[in-house]
Amino acid sequence: MILAHTLIGLAPLGKTEFFWYWFIGSVIADIDHLYIIIKYQLFSWPKLIDCLRFEKNYHVHFKTKYLHSILGAIILTLPLLLISARGASYFFVAYLLHLLLDWPDIDEKQYFYPYKLKIKGWLPIFSATEIIFTLVLIISLIYIFIKL
């Protein structure tokens, strides 16, 4: 989802001490995208966007099984338990929400890694539906922040 993870990360937890747990939990899974961008030298916008939209043509998977999985969420959450159990729970829920938001995307995911079950959504990346969803999310968050 275009910007959806960042927008969800900015949800109205801003006034709590747990904001950073929530925000980082909502975006950290996408750090694997940076790895793929560097590995395949996708340094131009047109090439990056095309590769994101048509992963199969490029034989690339932006959502790696290590970070875009429940196991990845658990492993990254465990050290946070040493700092704050409540913060870790916010992080974990935000991480799972990230995975849930990625579910409709047409690309292949392995949420249940190390099991080989692969999940593929129906929604093309950068599609009109995805753009509309992102705009509705932006408008909703602006409305929520105005009401706070």
> pLDDT value at position 90?
93
What pTM does this model have? 0.85
> pLDDT value at position 12?
65
pLDDT at 47 exceeding the cut of 70:
yes
> pLDDT value at position 15?
66
> pLDDT value at position 2?
65
| CB contact at 8 A, 139 and 122 | no
Q: Is 31 helix (H, G, I), strand (E, B) or coil?
A: helix
Q: Is 82 exposed, middle or buried (0-12, 13-18, 19+ CB in 10 A)?
A: exposed
pLDDT at 99 exceeding the cut of 80:
yes
Place of tokens 């700092």: 83
> pLDDT value at position 13?
62
pLDDT at 147 exceeding the cut of 80:
no
| CB contact at 8 A, 111 and 68 | yes
pLDDT at 48 exceeding the cut of 80:
yes
Give pLDDT tens digits for 54-69. Answer: 887 888 888 888 999 9
State the average pLDDT over residues 5-10: 80
pLDDT at 16 exceeding the cut of 80:
no
pLDDT at 141 exceeding the cut of 60:
yes
Host domain of residue 72: 4-147
- Give the residue, 77 or 49, on which the prediction is more confident: 77
User: Number of folded domains in the chain?
Assistant: 1
| CB contact at 8 A, 113 and 44 | no
The rounded distance, in Å, linking the Cα atoms of 47 and 123 is 20
